[in-house]
Amino acid sequence: MPGQTSDIVIIGAGVAGLVAAYECLERGKSVTIVERHSAEDIGGLARTAFGGMALIGTPLQRRMGIKDTPELALSDWHSFAEFGDADVWPKKWAEAYVEQSAERVFHWLRGKGMRFMPAVNWVERGNFAPGNSVPRYHILWGTGLGLVERIVDLLSTHRNRNKLRYVFGCRVDDLIVADRRVTGCRGVIEETGEEREFLADHTMVATGGINGNLQKVREHWYWGDAPTEILNGSHPYCNGAMHDVVEQQGGVVTHLENMWNYAAGIPHPLPQFEGHGLSLIPCKSALWLDHAGNRIGPEPLITGFDTHDMCGRLSAMPKPWSWQILNWRIAAKEFAISGAEHNPHIRDSRTLPFLKETLFGNHRLVRQMQEESDHFIVSDTLPELVEKMNALNGDKLVQVENVARAVNGFDDNVRRGAAQWNDDQLRRITHSRAWRSDRIRTCKPKPLLDHGPLIAIKLRLITRKSLGGVQTDLASRALGTNGSPIDGLFAIGEAAGFGGGGACGRRSLEGTFLSGCILTARAAAESLD
């Protein structure tokens, strides 16, 4: 079992691991990154991430007249988080995030050559409790993939690049402990079965969360029994194995029941693993229906306000799927898919094509989904649409009279005129359109049946991120059951629940993930000074 020694060994080459490696090289440390994926997949989930970040007090906010402060952000954070009395370290990490995100994420990335889109978006506004009081969602030009590529480039050209070593295709199974200190890790090269040891003064766990392991997701499901069908929007390698290893060494893992899943998933047209899902950004102007075609209510489901609540309501439905009904006009304006893969103009920083699709509609993406996914159904008439919906399911659960009642009722309300709208979805659409960034992306309400063809999308819940993880202090040191740091062991990024074992609490203000990876990684490296 050959052993290799370095100052730092980092388990995982996602954004947290890569940023930590960069900051360690800046300090002249030797670094070994051990990654289960191949070199082509470096960056982990961030490679396919959209690249949105919740940032507080940035120049972009001030330019748009947004008055934001760490105090306001922390109040919103606590409102959404629903922290308990014992959540000492999650609360400290939340405070650190709102105070540091501008300087240590926004300006740090700008200093590394990254750019943000000029518009700040308003997400997770809150439903039954206040969410983001003001717009905070900043989007990276280049998406998460661009972020990964930039950090990899910084590493490859670093003055201390000779101190960095990658080991790909290696599954880490255990930590090495000597004299009550973590002194590295051991794993297996999966292609050959060769066992390897990696010795280091400090070990950083950056292996992500549990949400690629659907068994663990079901075990920790917050809302009782998990749905019988859930799509995997993470990756099977994000399986929580290192959480178990850390616990075996006396570490504390908390709040695995807190997850950031999404309400609108479809099977990936080009799946890379079993159950692979594609996360859609559901249209605000679409009607959300249950398995039988009834509009979900009495409060209608509408995205952009409380994703956690949406997932909870859908989890309690009689069937593990739901439907959105919309038309081509809405889809062209509002339909989007999360991540880098289906946002090529943002990913490749192509300004003019992006502006064209934003202003005139993304008909390209709508046509693509019509061709690639049988869960994206297009029809000229409502009866034909329902017939195709039932054909997809292989049953007759969707009743045309239910869908007609939902659609006609909504259309009648729209036709009365804005002064007489009495529908909460219409009120929320109006509220959304009052913010200029959302006005461009949200349709002015018009009757669904007047602007065909009609579209139905069959949706399932889809996993994404863990909000719980290894409990850490503000230096990202893993904490033991006695509350003291475990000598030589750190946890960063999603593995640490983005700090403290659950910095976001019950739900996120959205966009706290890539930025949380950067903050926790930088904190870990700086603690070595």
Looking at the chain, the whole-number percentage of residues with pLDDT higher than 90 is: 92
User: Strands (DSSP E) along 401-441, which ranges?
Assistant: none
pLDDT reported for residue 24: 98
Model confidence pLDDT, tens digit, residues 387-412: 999 999 999 999 999 999 999 999 99
436 sits in the region (left: phi over 0; alpha: psi -120 to 50; else beta) called alpha
Q: Which long-range contacts (CB under 8 A, 24 or more apart) does 359-367 make?
A: 359/440, 361/329, 361/332, 361/333, 362/332, 362/333, 362/335, 362/336, 363/332, 365/335, 365/336, 365/337, 366/328, 366/331, 366/332, 366/335, 366/455
Strand 322-327 with 336-337, pairing: unpaired
145 sits in the region (left: phi over 0; alpha: psi -120 to 50; else beta) called alpha
CA distance 327 to 58: 37
Q: Which two structure tokens, joined as six digits, stand for 226? A: 């998990």
pLDDT reported for residue 354: 83
**In this model, does residue 2 exceed pLDDT 70?**
no
pLDDT reported for residue 112: 97
Ordered by where they begin, the domains of the chain are 3-258+467-526 (3.50.50.60), 267-461 (3.90.700.10)
3-state secondary structure of 215: helix
Q: 20, 10 in Cβ contact below 8 A?
A: yes
3-state secondary structure of 232: strand
376-398: burial string, b at 16+ Cβ within 10 Å, e else: bbbbeebeebbebbbeeeeeebb
**In this model, does residue 302 exceed pLDDT 80?**
yes
pLDDT reported for residue 452: 83
DSSP string, 336-352: EESSSTT-HHHHTT-HH
pLDDT reported for residue 243: 98
3-state helix, strand, coil in the chain (%, to 5): 35, 25, 40
CA distance 469 to 472: 9
- Give 231's pLDDT tier (boundaries 50, 70, 90): very high
| Angle (nearest 5°) at CA 101 between 265 and 70 | 105
pLDDT reported for residue 12: 98
Higher pLDDT, 245 or 353: 245
**In this model, does residue 3 exceed pLDDT 80?**
no
Model confidence pLDDT, tens digit, residues 142-200: 999 999 999 999 999 999 999 999 999 999 999 999 999 999 999 999 999 999 999 99
Compute the average pLDDT of residues 449-465.
96
What is this structure's pTM?
Answer: 0.96
- Give 350's pLDDT tier (boundaries 50, 70, 90): confident
Model confidence pLDDT, tens digit, residues 49-80: 999 999 999 999 999 999 999 999 999 999 99
Chain-centre distance for alpha carbon 451: 33
* Window from 101-105, 261-265, 306-310, 350-354 with minimum mean pLDDT: 350-354
